[in-house]
Structure 1
Amino acid sequence: MVIKMWRNISKNTIIIIVALVLLVLILFFSNITNKAEILNRADALAKMRQDGVEKLYLKEPYLYFTVEDQEYKIAKDALSKDEIYGSAKVEYEEVSNTFMDTAILILLLISIVYLIYTVRAMRKKQDEQVSQEVFQKEEHNVERHYIQAQHSEVNFSDVAGVNEAKEELKEIIDFLKNPMKYKEFDISLPKGVLLVGPPGVGKTLIAKAVAGEANVPFFYQSAASFVQIYVGMGAKRVSELFTRAKETAPSIIFIDEIDAVGKSRGGQNNEEREATLNQLLTEMDGFEESSGVMVIAATNKIEVLDDALLRAGRFDRRVHIGLPDFN
């Protein structure tokens, strides 16, 4: 029981306890090593009347004097100053108890340090509790607010001027409508489609149109929402997103502005962003083409994306979308 309690004590507390024990031992042994012989009033006066008094000083709570190299002491209140001055032929001085003063100062400093440490430890514990509560709240928000399936009412007829992109995406729509046909003939389709084009060309609208044409649930996420203050939250959101998409398959996951989380690793280190990117890569490696989940991402900065995202089995089909034209 005692050993278990000792293990639960923090390292700093142990140091303070040891320091206090050492201080008590020093005080104890300092009193033991004091070899001055204590005398009563009569014997002290008799000794003082001798010519051999070599030293006389007051050190609370005793009066010390030395005769023939032997130190004696008597309670300071046992003799008056007249008796002291009249009996001894040496100069009388008062010596402050520097050791006790130092000991008291050390005890005071230790107490202050311990108090500061205790207050800081309590604040740190409170901050950790608050952080944990916020983290749990964020986790709860993942399920409640960030992973909601949408049912798109947008069709290709609502998107004009990008006929080439539509043609390239028709195969994806057919796969989402008839996944068993592709599985029966063992036809492999890409797990991910990357829509590449400048801002404002309608990449999000095209992704919604694919979901509307295929009549499947549409999970929209901005990559910037994955990057969180707390390490691990972004990866958690990615995992939850893919889990929900698999539960409602066939479905589409659309990640807008994927370059916010998919930038090439190296250079400036961002632990949270890299953890989120690694989770995204793991999720894309973990589901089969026949799972009925299609990942569509959009970017206008394909040159900054990590090479791992563009490898086979991930975003290995790219659809370039330019500004609409009259045709």
Structure 2
Amino acid sequence: HIQYTRNMITGASNVDLAIVLVDARAGIVEQTRRHSLLASLLGVPHLVICINKMDLVDWSPEVFNRIRHEFEDFASRLSLRDVTFLPISALLGDNVVSRSPNLTWFEGPTLLHHLENVYTASDDNRVDARFPVQYVIRPQRAEHHDYRGYAGRVAGGVFRVGDDVMVLPSGLTTTITGIDTPDGAVTEAGPGHAVTLLLADDLSVSRGDMICRPNNRPRQSQSLEAMLCWMDDAAPLQPNRIYSLKHTSKVARAKVTKVLYRLNISTLHREQGVESLTLNEIGRVELHTTAPLFFDDYHVNRTTGSFILVDENSGQTCAAGMLLSPRT
């Protein structure tokens, strides 16, 4: 339902796969389009369209194929990378865990088999090395008086001992001399790994800085464009009002300078001439921040390409944003 748009935005922002249930009797409805659009906006890598209640349409392959073709026509306007269609009967369990004698015409997998075997290893960005620094570790103990580590979670790429890296915003370069984890030292760390990097040089590094490769840096700017989902039920978006923007481990003050358009999430129509966004509305906006952000487009890296806006007075999360390349 449209009033739960913000729930899906928060719940699906980091998932590998989403399941959309379609009633075989009703076919593709507004809610199907809305959920699929949100999955596309959020960059969900894998989408499963479960055409349910096949028992109520006599297990008809014609109904299944008609719904599949209708969805494919709609999805051609979205950015969905991998879509799988499955006929099921949730009530009777057909094709959920085991293959069904009622669906002998369907040659695909069961839902459980698909979930257990979908390939997600290639979904992570293992090329663009990104490490937002969350915390600087300097133990106050004599045996570790020379220890200086930079803790965080790898947001992209692979970091290895011996790699040359650059620290932003300073632009200083150094070499990784060690990678520590709660289970001991390792020689490399990839996306999602929570680690502490040790560097060869005693640089000035603090929370909110970004460690990357010298020849592969994130974009850097104070002027941004993003798709924004408004989540505050207390007040609409107020252009030029100051909000707190949280991006990876960095916090800056920001304001939305312009709403470029509001997206009708039922028709995909871009509604021009809009000056604000209200609860559950999504639009493309221009923002300006008080300090540069180090980021990638959301479709390239969902961690370094996302942010939230927070009301500085109430602490309420007002919006979730997905950073995009400026329109030309």
Question: Highest Rg: 1 or 2?
Answer: 1
Q: Tell me which of the two structures has the higher relative contact order, counting C-alpha pairs closer than 8 angstroms and 6 or more residues apart.
A: 1
Q: TM-score w.r.t. structure 1 length?
A: 0.22
Q: Which has the higher helix share?
A: 1
